[in-house]
Amino acid sequence: MAVATATVAAHEAHPTSTGLNSRKMLFWAFLGSECMFFGSLIATYLVYRGRDQVGPHPHEILNIPFTSVSAFVLLMSSLTMVLALAAVQHGNVRGTRIWLAATALLGMTFLAGQCYEFTQFYFEGLALQTNLFGTTFFVLTGFHGTHVTVGVIWLWTLFVMAMQGRLPRERALDVEIAGLYWHFVDVVWIAIFTLVYLIQ
């Protein structure tokens, strides 16, 4: 057995068959899997649309102007995510911190909007158990919200690393992968917003 010697980036620097980074490839595969996950949730929502025995129905309760604003907030967080990645890739420590925090805060704003929306619907008579709309709507958007929550925790973790100076340019990939996740969650929201809110 040879003596183990290593450098921090031994694994990263290891040449791969395709030249693509293995962690990034793993993450793309994971996002493929996530497509099937959200695909199944969205398909169920669509299959059950209009089959409710009792109200409230989507058109009575969905507040498009309000959700358009929170959708805009989430889209803007993708922009700040891109800026955070650009900053870390250029070794811009201050920019990295600012844009990571901005992205996380925008994500939290979206989540706050979702909390408000859920409570509002509940007081208007739509609970998880009320009808098929309540069941499929809350589970679909709830899972999306859970994904955003995981992303926010991830972003704050990166932010703390950036504050401690443990996020140098060489680790830009960490931010890039978090960014892939974040953009994916955004794209899923565009699909949900279109199919659930806009096309009723």
Partner 1 sequence: MATTTAAIHAPVQAESGLWSWITTVDHKRIGILYGTTAFVFFLIGGLEATIMRLQLMRPDNTLVSPDFYNELFTMHGTTMIFLAVMPLSASFFNFLIPLMIGARDVAFPRLNAFSYWIFLFGAIFLNLSFFFGGAPDVGWFGYSNLTSKQFSPGHGVDFWAVGLQILGIASLAAGFNFIVTIVNMRAPGMKLMRMPLFVWMTLVTSFLIILAFPVITVALVFLLFDRFTGTNFYVPAAGADPVLWQHLFWLFGHPEVYILILPAMGIISEVLPTFSRKPLFGYPVVVYSGIFIGFMGWGVWSHHMFAVGLGPLADSFFALTTMLIAIPTGVKIFNWLGTIWGGRIEFKTAMLFALGFIAMFTMGGLSGFMHASPPADLQQTDTYFVVAHIHYVLYGGAIMGIFAGIYYWFPKITGRKLGEGLGQLHFWLNFVALNVTFFPMHFVGLLGMPRRIYTYAPHMGFDWMNLLSTAGVFGIIAAVLVFMWNVSRSLRHGEVAGPDPWGGATLEWAIPSPPPAHNFGTIPTVHSLDPLWHREGPELVKTANRIGGPIHMPPGSHWPMASALGITLLLSGMVFGWWLGIPGVLITLYGIYSWAFEPCT
Interacting residue ranges for partner 1, rule: CB under 8 A: 1-8, 10-11, 16-18, 20, 22, 25-26, 29-30, 32-34, 36-37, 40-41, 44, 47-48, 51-53, 128-129, 131-132, 134-136, 139, 143, 157, 161, 166, 171
> What's the rounded Cα separation, in Å, for the pair 102 and 93?
14
Nearer to partner 1, 29 or 64 (CB): 29
Q: Residue 188 Cβ, how far from partner 1 at the closest point, in Å?
A: 13
Residue 19 or 65 having the CB closest to partner 1? 19
Q: In whole angstroms, how close is the CB of 73 to partner 1 at the nearest point?
A: 27
Minimum distance from residue 168 beta carbon to partner 1 (Å): 9
Q: Which residues contact 53 (CB under 8 A, 6 or more apart)?
A: 131
Nearer to partner 1, 63 or 157 (CB): 157
**Shortest distance (Å) from residue 68 CB to partner 1:** 27
Q: Which residues contact 130 (CB under 8 A, 6 or more apart)?
A: 54, 56
Distance CA 176, CA 74 (A): 18
Residue number, 34 or 109, with CB nearest to partner 1: 34
The nearer residue to partner 1, 44 or 109, going by C-beta atoms, is: 44
What is the C-alpha to C-alpha distance for residues 180 and 136, in angstroms, rounded to an integer?
27
**CB 44, min distance to partner 1, A:** 7
> H/E/C letters for each residue in 61-112?
HCCHHHHHHHHHHHHHHHHHHHHHHHHHHCCCHHHHHHHHHHHHHHHHHHHH
